[in-house]
Amino acid sequence: MFFFRRIELLSVLFLGAAMQMGSYAQNESRPVSQMEKMTAKYKEGISLQLPVDGWKIKEGDNLKYAKNDYDDSKWKPVKINSSIFTQGFKSGFCWYRNHFVLPENFASKGLIINLGYISNFDEVYVNGVLLGSYGTCPPAQPIPGSSWVARKYYVPSDKSPFKAGKENLIAVRIHTGYAGGMYSGIPKIYIVENKVISGFQLKIKGGNSLASLITNNTHLNRYQPGQYIAVAPEFAYMPSDKNNIPASLEVKMFSADGKILQSQKLSCQLQSLRWTEFKPVELKAEKEGKYFCDLILKTADSILSEQKIPFTIAAADKYTVPTDEKLTLPAKNIQEIKDSVGTFGPRVTKDDVLKNSMSVPDARGSLTFSVFCADIEPSPLVFINNVRPSPKVLHKPDYYLAAKGREYDGFNDAWMLGHISIGKSKKVSAEVTRSSWSGRTWTYSFEDGKKLEFRISSLSPAWNLRTDANSINIFQNISQWKIGLPSHIAYMDKKNNLKVIKKGDAIDGSDMSSNWILTWFNGSENWSEFDMPWLFALEKKTQSISINDNALTFTFNKEAGNLSGMPLFGVKLLPPSETESWSKKIPEAITERCSFWSKVLMSSPVEVKRSFSIDYPNDRVILKDQFEYQTINNEWNTVPLKIAPLPPALPLASSSGNIPITVNDKITDLEMATLHGPYTAILNKESALISIEKMLHFSNEARSIIHGTQPETLPLRKELKEIYSKNLKKLSVHPWEWMIYHEKYVPGNAEPEISNIILGMQYLTPELKEKVFKMLKDEMEKYLFLEGKPEPSFQSKLLPIVQKNGLTFTLTSPMSGKKLSSYTPNQNEHAIDSVCWESLRLYTAWHYAYAFKQDDFIKNNWEKINMFFNLIPNSHDWAVCISWDTFSGIRVGNGLQESGIIHAGASAMARMAQIMGDRVLRDKAAYFSVMQLVGMQAALNANKYLRQNRPWPASHTESNEMEFVERSRNIHYVEFNEFAGFSQNIIKGYADLNAYGSFVMTPLPEIMRPYKDIWSNATDDFFDPKYFEIPYNSSVAEPISIDMFLYMTNKYPKTFQEIQSARWKFPLEWTKKLSDIRAALDWHGKINYEKLWSE
């Protein structure tokens, strides 16, 4: 159903209407691609299921196998709808053949032959004629995801090789992928009753680049009053025996009560198997309400298609958090977060210490923009990632960020905003002079002795600078990227009137009655797709402000002091039409907004001290955020306004309704879009109390099973025993193969297999259980926390850097003094993935100790365990509520997988601390566990927020992939990224959007529990089989596991027995098969959760 555009075949309906003829509105046509034909949703007529039996297979490759007269009598029988790997066949080329009789009423009809899913390259022949092909034939590299695309080939009536009323031969040439040939689906042929296929453009380039057009993906059809609303359909005529068919398209807009509000008729000529693309038809709907767009395509003698599409106009959502004015922080068991650095900590390693360095590319992201401060740049460089490429790209992403995976952080779509500098003197030196949980400050020194302090923060949408120079340049050198300077400046003059000047003119500082100016870019070079107004708030009165050829320049007759700058709407881009009239008259609401923020920026929050209290009996965590402010007494005597902001992810999580969150005072939505959610705050307060309920029990409860005794469990136990017995030899070889990952020693990678082995052992006989336990104990005791140089037995399997430096490394954080340990990474990894993998190591340690009462194992490794755990609090972030999967910031990518794992690692640490009798550490770990869940819920609830506040321009390099993601699912996870923020631009959208492993990488009962108990609606929606028809959905290749069915879903349209049957047919590694059987035994038993402590 989905490709780059939503393609749908429309039924032939008969409905007439009269209206006036409009102008011809058609772009040049393009051919209908093979993928567009395959992904269409067809209107099926009479159908014929091809035989299930009688299929034959021949391994190897020869085109003569396609011919009718080829003798296949010696070929082997094969089952379709099943992997060939479960039938004794190997990978490589193979051919399937079978015969069938096509009924006579199929003659002279357009047909579809649907072969189901094939892994991964195929060519389909009927009676020796090639009908279609998909994938790439070796030696070419396979198309990613080609195993997950249903093969539906359209056959026009005049080019059909089918013989109606006679026997036909079908031959399928395949090069097998991992799922093994014709692995899913029973082939069938059916008559196509449509004559056209239809699609809709979602994005268009130009002045309306930000707009999402009306499509038949109705979950996207929501608009705000005044927004551009249009529809841009496209049609292709399917029969191949006609061309240049005169037709007309009627476009009507109806109100909810059926009243016609707008109508237009457009002429066109339909082309056979080519698209007729219409230019957007704007719909003039202003008032809030529900509407319909009716599209009728007709020729002179018939209606070819009709579609009625609903859309809604509604005000933007406002975000808040419920208020509990009685909320207080208990007087006992209070802890303060002291060792978290979030986004702003050091990321460079030197001499076993984390350090800040200006010589290593290390850009930083804040709430609404990013900055690059480095030795190779003359001064701070400001930009906004994940927008679109600058018209001229000067550097690749590795220029700005050394860490691996930077292609996922939006640098390819960085919109550069130039430098911030002072005077004309050259830089002498620059260094990081402050780095905290809340922000980061760089100090620049110049040849003339002047200094520039530049600060960004997670608490404020603005940057702040302080200088003793008498001039400041903003957007300096922006023209290097072929981007124009601001076109206008607005300010309040001495008469308290709003005055606008254009580029080339200057503001006389003595004429300013307020401490702020507003700039915007409408009409400047390459600002045709969007605008980005910036507000600047000053401490001291200027001599002049002007936009010259190279910068927006503030000139003073004294030291400039403080200046703050912020994008007025955060990361929300404005369409050019919204600011087009500002040069004549700025809306009053904009003036009020500037006035409000000019007061806030005179007393910005710059530091936050967080305290928390754990309340196990009431299953509640209470947080207190106490803020420190930079108060500026400016020369206009502006009265500062203090705000107590909430972490942007928090109102997103609260709006889901799944996590009870309350705040001690009224929250105001400041309508400031940030990378991580809405910016909300308590006004005129310096602190905020936050209560989070019903999340603590995920830390202090552990799963247990009361075994079922039904007769059905006996064969399951027998098969489980056989799997363990068959693989004892593998388990006797240490270290286990899963300990090695990408040529690194990564014990966390082995956690799923180890935990599955542990979970299944409860169903074994005592004798077999003892044998397995001995091997498990040998692995755990020696290899889970192994240090030093690798032993010869597996040294050759590791990277040279690991062989040289040892299996693990330990660093000291200069901000907390804590030691941080992890597996030895490759160069430039910045501990990317380390927090995830070490969380899994922690969970493995706890699971082993808990399952077999091995408390001494925890005690003997306690120091190491603490250093692995320290990674989690070190990267814990205020704005997103979670811990980054690195030393500090960057990303927690690939879906939700790492976030859930870090939650499990923190919970495991709390349980191990309970074993050790360390209640302070236990409660601290439980706090981090709860915050992970809050952040994950925010990521699952960000779709609507993004659609309203962070639409992407059509010129974004990943626009097609983001469109695929948005069209495919109403609810989909987003990912945490320091530079790209919450975004539709998820990592590997085509492959990972629907992948089980991206939603939950480690499907173990306790890791899966929040998916079932907290965000069950999102989980059930994710697994809904209706999404199988989305291309590249790997779920079609591997049925949902019994573990996921049991521990994640509440509503699934198939029964346990159906799931079990499907899984039993699928080729699985022995540990996955073990997991399925163990989960099946769990299903027959009773699941309990044991409380490990209560206070």
Q: For residues 932 and 1055, state if they share a domain.
A: yes
Cα torsion 377, 382, 385, 387: sign:
negative
Q: Is residue 328 part of a domain?
A: no
pLDDT at 605 over 70: yes
pLDDT of res. 124: 98
Rounded CA-CA distance 604/456 in Å is 11
Average pLDDT for residues 1054-1077, to the nearest whole number? 92
Residues 103 and 243 grouped into a single domain? no
Closest by CA position to 15, among listed 243, 213, 218, 252:
252
pLDDT tens per residue, range 736-767:
999 999 899 999 999 999 999 999 999 999 99
pLDDT in tens, 1005-1018: 989 999 999 999 99
Q: What secondary structure does DSSP assign to 193-218, as a single string? A: --SEEEEE----SSTTTTPPPB-S-G
Whether 913 shows a pLDDT value over 60: the answer reads yes
pLDDT confidence tier of residue 15, bands split at 50, 70 and 90: very low
- pLDDT value at position 4? 38
Least Cα distance to 999 among 939, 1059, 925 occurs for 939
- Does residue 448 sit within a domain? yes
**Among residues 442, 485, 491, which one has the least CA distance to residue 467?**
442
How sure is the predictor about 17, in pLDDT bands with cuts at 50, 70 and 90?
very low
Higher pLDDT: 29 or 985? It is 985
The per-residue pLDDT for 1038 is 83
Q: Is residue 826 part of a domain?
A: yes
**Residue 244: is the preceding peptide bond cis (ω within 30°)?**
no
Question: Would residue 8 count as lying in a domain?
Answer: no
Do 273 and 159 share a domain, yes or no? no
Q: State the pairing for strand pair 891-892/819-823.
A: unpaired
The residue-averaged pLDDT of 813-834 equals: 86
Residue 13 has pLDDT above 70, yes or no: no
Q: What is the pLDDT of residue 291?
A: 98
Model confidence over 45-58: pLDDT tens digits?
999 999 999 999 99
Instruction: Provide the pLDDT confidence category of residue 2 given band limits of 50, 70 and 90.
Output: very low
Q: What is the mean pLDDT of residues 794-800?
A: 89
User: DSSP character for 489?
Assistant: E
Measured in Å, how far apart are the chain's first and last C-alpha atoms?
53
What is the count of structural domains for the chain? Answer: 5
Enter the tokens of residue 413. Answer: 């779509």
Query: How many CA atoms within 13 Å lie on the side-chain side of 293?
Result: 28
For residues 178-198, give the mean pLDDT: 93
Q: Is 105 helix (H, G, I), strand (E, B) or coil?
A: helix
Residues 386 and 247 in one domain: no
The answer on 48 and 170 residing in a single domain is yes
Q: Give the mean pLDDT of the chain.
A: 93
Residue 1081 pLDDT greater than 60, yes or no: yes
Contacts of 989 (CB under 8 A, 6+ apart): 958, 961, 962, 964, 965
Q: Mean pLDDT check: name the lowest of 238-252, 334-348, 537-551, 911-925.
A: 238-252
What pLDDT band is residue 618 in, cutting at 50, 70 and 90?
very high
**CB-hemisphere CA count at 13 Å for 912?**
31
Q: What secondary structure, in 3-state letters, does 410-454 show? A: CHHHCEEEEEEEECCCCEEEEEEEEECCCEEEEEEEECCCCEEEE
* Residues sharing a CB contact under 8 Å with residue 663, sequence separation 6 or more, in sequence order: 321, 322, 323, 324, 327, 646, 682, 688, 689, 690, 691
For 30-44, 411-425, 585-599, which range has the lowest pLDDT when averaged over its residues?
30-44
Q: Tell me the pLDDT tens digit for each residue of 270-329.
A: 999 999 999 999 999 989 999 999 999 999 999 999 999 999 999 999 999 999 999 999
For residue 133, the surrounding DSSP H or E stretch is strand 129-134
Q: Which two tokens stand for residue 13?
A: 């309906």
Q: For residue 26, is pLDDT > 70?
A: no
Let me know whether 210 and 226 are in one domain.
Answer: yes
Shared domain check, 648 and 593: no
Has residue 465 been placed in a domain? yes
Q: Is residue 79 part of a domain?
A: yes
Co-location of 869 and 819 in the same domain: yes
Beta bridge partners, 312, equal 222, 290
The CATH number given to whatever domain includes residue 836 is 1.50.10
pLDDT band at 1064 (very low <50, low <70, confident <90, very high): confident
Output the pLDDT for position 827: 64
Q: In what order do the strands lie in the sheet with 245-255?
A: 222-223, 303-313, 289-298, 245-255, 260-270
Interhelix angle 751-761/766-783, rounded to 10 degrees, is 150
pLDDT band at 14 (very low <50, low <70, confident <90, very high): very low
Of 164, 192, 220, which residue is a domain's last?
192
**Which pLDDT score, from 0 to 100, does residue 830 have?**
73
Phi, psi of 906 (to 5 degrees): -65, -40
| CA within 13 Å, CB half, 91 | 9
Model pLDDT, residue 28: 61
Provide the CATH number for the domain around residue 280.
Answer: 2.60.40.2550
Residue 1 pLDDT exceeds 60? no
Q: Domain end: 288, 313, 338, which one?
A: 313
Q: What is the pLDDT of residues 466-486, one digit of tens each?
A: 999 999 999 999 999 999 999
The verdict on residue 783 lying in a domain is: yes
Report the side by side order of strands in the sheet with 677-683: 643-645, 677-683, 668-674
- Domain match, 183 and 202 both: no
Q: Look at residue 796 in the predicted model and tell me its pLDDT.
A: 87
Please say which residue of 642, 666, 694 terminates a domain.
Answer: 694
pLDDT band at 6 (very low <50, low <70, confident <90, very high): very low
Domain that holds residue 187: 44-192
248-258: pLDDT as tens digits: 999 999 999 99
pLDDT digit string (tens) for 223-237?
A: 999 999 999 999 999
Check: CB of residue 200 under 8 Å from CB of residue 214.
yes
If asked whether residues 159 and 210 sit together in one domain, one would say no
> What confidence score (pLDDT) does residue 828 get?
67
pLDDT computed for residue 288 by the predictor: 96
pLDDT at 407: 87
CA atoms within 13 A on the CB side of 242: 11
Q: Same domain, yes or no, for 241 and 285? A: yes
Share of the chain above pLDDT 70, in %: 97
* Nearest one of 321, 971, 977, 344 to 647, comparing CA atoms: 321
Q: Residue 168: inside a domain, yes or no?
A: yes
Q: Are 965 and 3 in contact (CB under 8 A)?
A: no
Q: pLDDT > 90: what percent of the chain?
A: 86
Question: In the 8-state DSSP scheme, what is residue 521?
Answer: -
The CATH number for 352's domain is 2.70.98
Confidence of residue 842 (pLDDT cuts 50, 70, 90): very high
Taking only the tens place, the pLDDT of each residue in 1036-1055 is 888 899 999 999 999 999 99
Same domain as 101, residue 57? yes
Average pLDDT over residues 948-970: 95
